[in-house]
Amino acid sequence: MKKILSVVGTLAVLGAISTSVFAVEFEREIKARQSVMQIYAFNLGILGAMAKGEKEYEAGLAQTAANNLNAAILMNNGAMWPMGSDMSAPGLAGKTRAKANIWTSFPKVVETHKSLAVASAAMADVAGTGLTAIRSNIGAVGKGCQSCHEAFRAPKK
Ligand code: HEC
């Protein structure tokens, strides 16, 4: 009996270790993709604040923010999204809000990203030309973010 208990104990410890190794396995990828999202949000935030009149329009800054946003969106981030690195994986609850349907929704998820890329390229074409240009393009960019989040990102707890 004692032996069985200690075997069970050992298995439980092994289980805990393999769970944490599993989580650590995806930690870098999750951190990287969340950082890319933060770069999106930072640059879109500058354009959004200008569009709302909360920040004074400044052509150089607007153009730079739009260029940065577009460059980040054009990066190939495939390696940051390894299959199984979703919030339902052991050890990943609370570390990622990526839903498992990302990996079962091809090509929809790729198309969602592409429509954002079209909108951000249009923004980058004109952001330095004036506030009106930002205002007429920002809706499509925001929609590109939102449609993906609605489908593939879990709400904040
Ligand atoms: C193709 C889908 C997709 C698109 C397009 C997309 N996102 Fe995300 N975003 C996600 C997913 C999935 C997560 C959750 C990632 C995770 O927690 O691992 C996320 C997370 C985030 C986060 C939280 C990052 C963190 O630190 O946890 C921010 C901020 C964000 N996105 C902003 C944006 C903005 C701004 C845009 C548009 C310019 C955008 N996203 C476009 C899918 C997308």
State mean pLDDT over 78-99.
Answer: 95
Is residue 24 packed enough to be buried (19+ CB in 10 Å), middle (13-18) or exposed (0-12)?
Answer: exposed
Closest alpha carbon to 97 in 19, 22, 30: 30
Closest alpha carbon to 37 in 73, 6, 4, 1: 73
pLDDT score of 22 more than 90? no
Q: Is the CB of 66 under 6 A from ligand 1?
A: no
State mean pLDDT over 43-47.
Answer: 98
Residue nearest to atom 28 of ligand 1 (CA): 37
Q: What is the pLDDT of residue 84?
A: 94
pLDDT score of 44 more than 90? yes
pLDDT score of 92 more than 80? yes
Confidence of residue 13 (pLDDT cuts 50, 70, 90): very low
State mean pLDDT over 64-84.
Answer: 97
Residue 149 CA to ligand 1 centre (angstroms): 6
Residue 118 CA to ligand 1 centre (angstroms): 17
Q: In the 8-state DSSP scheme, what is residue 76? A: -
Q: Give the CATH architecture of domain 2-152.
A: Up-down Bundle (1.20)
Rg (CA), the chain: 21
Q: Is the CB of 31 under 6 A from ligand 1?
A: no
- Residue 122 in 3-state DSSP? helix
Residue 65 CA to ligand 1 centre (angstroms): 17
pLDDT score of 24 more than 80? no
Domains of the chain, by residue range, sit at 2-152
* Average pLDDT across the chain, whole number: 90
Instruction: Work out which ligand 1 atom sits closest to the CA atom of 110.
Output: 1
Q: What is the pLDDT of residue 1?
A: 47
